[in-house]
A and B are shown apart, each in its own frame.
Chain A
Amino acid sequence: MNGNEIAAKDDALFRSIEYTGKNFYYAVGIFVTVIAFAAFLYLGQIISGLGVTGMAQPVSWGFYIVNFVFFIGISHAGTLISAILRLSKAEWRRPITRMAEVITAIVLAIGGLHPILDLGQPGRIWHLATSGRLQSPLLWDVTSITAYFAASTVYLFLPLIPDIAILRDRGTKPRWLYQFLSWGWQGTPKQHKVLNRTINILMIGVIPIAVSVHTVISYIFAMTVQPGWHSTIFGPYFVVGAIFSGIAALLIVMIVFRKVYHLENYLKEIHFSYLSILLLIMSLLWFYFTFCEYLTTHYGNEPDEMRVFFYKFSGDFAPYFWAMILCNFIIPVAILSNKKTRKIKGILFASFTVLIGMWLERLIIVVPSLANPRLGYPTGIYIPSITEWALFAGGIAVFMLGFLLFAKFFPLISVWEIQEGRASSIKEVAHRLRSYLPDELEEDEIKKALH
């Protein structure tokens, strides 16, 4: 089979690669400007010190750590979801997995670099290499994020190989890139077997890594004895929150690029509906964890814990706290549990509120505990500076730019998996269904029903 023939049907998926519109350059221009501005302010921070931020004593961690946790959380969108969907053989995964994996790889790189922004002496980062200490949760993070980054990049790359080969075969430029990256893929059955086998292994391997990443990030906080942080449910709580925000980010990206690249044929309402139900479930789960976390604190009534508790519930952070509850629970549940509102627009709105809510949640975890130290010190204040805002915007811009560039070079929807779906999924599903059911049904009957 010729690559061109194979892909002819899915031309829409290659449009973004083979055609570059003005808007692309505008978008790149905007993102680069934002990034340059952030880089400029970061340079200022390096030169004059972390004083340019709003951090102080006792609130010695601010936006950088908040965003670190937030971005890493979003990165769970991807590989984890795609792995779970693949593992559960959910057929509707086919147009989704690629985007999810891309989000992971890009956001993880951004998130992983955030602690460096936070360093007072970034030039001494090599001390981690020469004399790092594995007993520090920060090193656990470094290790697990590196592992997750490596694994998810590989996990993005491997299913990309057949698509790269298609691009190579279509003669898309730059040819050398696709030749180089396609690794000699020719789509032979044996090659398929090799690739699928490896993907399956990685798929299983990447799930525990992903879980571990956000668990150890929560450990940064949970391993201290500080009120509001020292909690055993922090690990799963963070993981749930991460998946939650990850799905929301995935949904937003899907909706945006569906619109931009006219992928309505591939990303149908049903995909959004399924994913948004997953989001709804995560919302409920998130609320359950939040409830557990705060109820135990409140019932325990330990004075230092209560100071943090009331700081969130009725103190300075109450607006953020209740906004978080609104954004993470009330709005998504209200929108997503109703079939009428569970449409693209509603889902987009809910996803945005979830992203905001989850960011607030990270803020609410990091700052109030620091702001209310033990021993009756006065409550700390934290007002982020322009540098911190700019670097936050810069982080988002890097993500957007990264995604845009990826879309410029690679298909955002796994072409070969779509084709594979077309070719074999009905048969496969029919086969699977037959094995679920108590009665011996004819495969043809099922096929008919499926159509």
Chain B
Amino acid sequence: MSPKTIKFLQYASIAWIWIFVLSVDVWIISLLIVARRLHDAINASVGIGIIAIPLFLLIATALTYVFFGLQKHREVDETRGGNP
């Protein structure tokens, strides 16, 4: 597989993680709306939302940070580390 494809896949996986995390957050937010509509115990729902939403964002951020951090701090010579 060409390095380009791999690069693409890596970016895609990062994107996928964000999609996952964002959809979880959207889901939680939508549940908050549902809870409001149904007059459910709103404090429980908000409590969970407050913790869970940033948490998922944090996870995605951490991954993204690592990914871009690794990309950024590579030594210039691609061949030395990679393919012998």
Which residues of A are in contact with B by a Cβ distance under 8 Å? 2-4, 129, 131-135, 139-140, 143-144, 146-147, 150-151, 154, 158, 161, 165, 168-169, 171, 175-176, 179-180, 183-188, 190-191, 194-195, 198, 201-202, 205, 209
Contacts and interface: CB of A to CB of B under 8 A. Distances in A.
Contacts of B56: 147, 150
B36 to A, nearest CB: 10
A147 B31 contact: no
A198 B45 contact: no
Contacts of A194: 65-66, 69-70, 73
Interface of B: 1, 3, 6, 9-10, 13, 20-21, 24, 27-28, 31-32, 34-35, 38, 40-41, 44-45, 48-49, 52, 55-56, 58-59, 62-63, 65-67, 69-75, 80-82, 84
* Ranked 9 nearest A-B pairs via Cβ: A194-B69, A134-B45, A190-B73, A186-B81, A176-B1, A135-B41, A135-B40, A191-B73, A183-B70
B68 to A, nearest CB: 9
B1 A198 contact: no
Given A135-B40, A147-B56, A186-B74, A140 B48 contact: yes
Contact of B31 (A132, A161, A183): A132
Contacts of B9: 180
Given A134-B49, A135-B45, A195 B70 contact: yes
6 contacts: A133-B31, A134-B40, A150-B21, A150-B59, A188-B73, A191-B70
Given A146-B24, A209-B55, 4 more contacts: A2-B84, A150-B20, A154-B63, A158-B66
B74 A188 contact: yes
Contacts of A133: 31, 34-35, 38, 40, 45
B17 to A, nearest CB: 9
A129 B45 contact: no
Q: Chain A interface mostly helix, strand, loop or mixed?
A: helix
Given A143-B52, A183-B70, A185-B70, A202 B84 contact: no
A146 to B, nearest CB: 6
Nearest to A185: B70
Contacts of A151: 55, 59
A191 B69 contact: yes
B40 A183 contact: no
A185 B10 CA distance: 13
Contacts of B35: 133-135
Contacts of B82: 168-169, 179
B52 A154 contact: no
Contacts of B58: 205
Nearest to B58: A205
Contacts of B6: 176, 179-180
Given A146-B24, A195-B66, A169 B74 contact: no
Contact of B48 (A134, A185, A186): A134
B8 to A, nearest CB: 10
A134 B70 contact: no
Given A150-B59, A154-B63, A180-B9, A131 B34 contact: yes
Given A134-B32, A184-B70, A179 B75 contact: no
Nearest to B68: A194
Contacts of B70: 161, 183-185, 191, 194-195
B41 to A, nearest CB: 4
A191 B74 contact: yes
Given A147-B56, A188-B73, A134 B65 contact: no
A179 B62 contact: no
A165 B75 CA distance: 14
B16 to A, nearest CB: 12
A4 B66 CA distance: 24
A146 B40 CA distance: 22
A132 B62 contact: no
Q: Identify the interface centre among B34, B40, B55: most chain A CB within 10 Å of its CB.
A: B55
A196 to B, nearest CB: 10
B78 to A, nearest CB: 9
